[in-house]
Amino acid sequence: MYQLYPPIEPYKQGYLQVSELHKIHFEESGNPQGKPIVLLHGGPGGGCPPFYRQYFNPEKWRLIMFDQRGCGKSTPHAELRENTTWDLVSDIEKLREYLGIEKWAVFGGSWGSTLSLAYSQTHPERCSGLILRGIFMLRQKELRWFYQEGASYIFPDAWEEYLKPIPIDERDDLLTAYYQRLTSPDSNIRLEAARAWSIWEASTSRLFPDTALMRNFGQNDFAEAFARIECHYFINKGFLNSENQLLLNVDKIRHIPAVIVQGRYDVVCPIVSAWELHQAWPEAEFIVVQDAGHSMSEPGIRSALIVATNNL
């Protein structure tokens, strides 16, 4: 098993004004002369914790991380206006141009894999490689599985907690019910829903549930941005032009060196999506980690990602 690299601090960080409303926080770490790679975090709304830096050899990579609109250190916090997939694709390009990078590798897991596909299919000439983990293509069957019925059969105890903020007569459409509460003017209603939504994901992310992760996801500031932005994207079908857009546009990125890493027992983003992407894109290396769920912190996934970054 490969271990994380030692913790490092960024050598540069700052804010980039990407619209009149939004500023995104970014940082650079590793080797300023190294190969550039941009990390696209999950959620949407998850932000970039410092341990993400430890997946990349600091002598070889120039790592760029940024908090997407409305989350992490970006401002305004938990803001839904001007916050779409295509706004984020535009932000990635603005950041690349601002940093004077001609091409970079793209690393993304979960929602980060969705955004990586959307960005690379829009700007394939700017991508030197792709490392994708926990494939999510924001299709209705994926959303129904996790937020309506499916994952509930595997984690009925955690599901019971997820249902608590929603009255029984609204449970036939949980996304809509949650959206109404997460956009409520009442902060108590918003926070109750946000914490339940976020803890549900934390409860199901690992093969062996992690109580520390659940506590972190349940913190008010994180939960509000994470839940509000996720639900906003999901209720709007990811702002994609069609249900299978990311699968149908694989031809645009077929030539880019790519690795797909997927946990066999991923309940958040089930392996069927990674399998369908693999079938459409056999040129990409496909790695199934047999003893893992969704989280990039699980030993097998961590190891596969570090091998992928070293090989790329």
Angle (CA) 100-106-111 rounded to 5° is: 125
Q: Which of 22, 25, 278, 294 is catalytic?
A: 294
Please tell me the distance from the alpha carbon of residue 15 to that of residue 98, in angstroms, as a whole number. 11
The residues that bridge with 15 in the sheet, in sequence order, are 25
Q: Which of 25, 74, 91, 110 is catalytic?
A: 110
Q: Which of 266, 273, 278, 295 is catalytic?
A: 266
- Asked if 38 and 96 touch (Cβ cutoff 8 Å), the reply is yes
Torsion of CA 261, 84, 69, 95, to 10 degrees: 70
Angle (CA) 261-264-284 rounded to 5° is: 30
Backbone phi, psi, residue 261, to 5°: -115, 125
Catalytic residue status for 110: yes
Tokens 């803890």 sit on residue: 199
Catalytic residue status for 242: no
Question: Which positions are catalytic?
Answer: 110, 266, 294
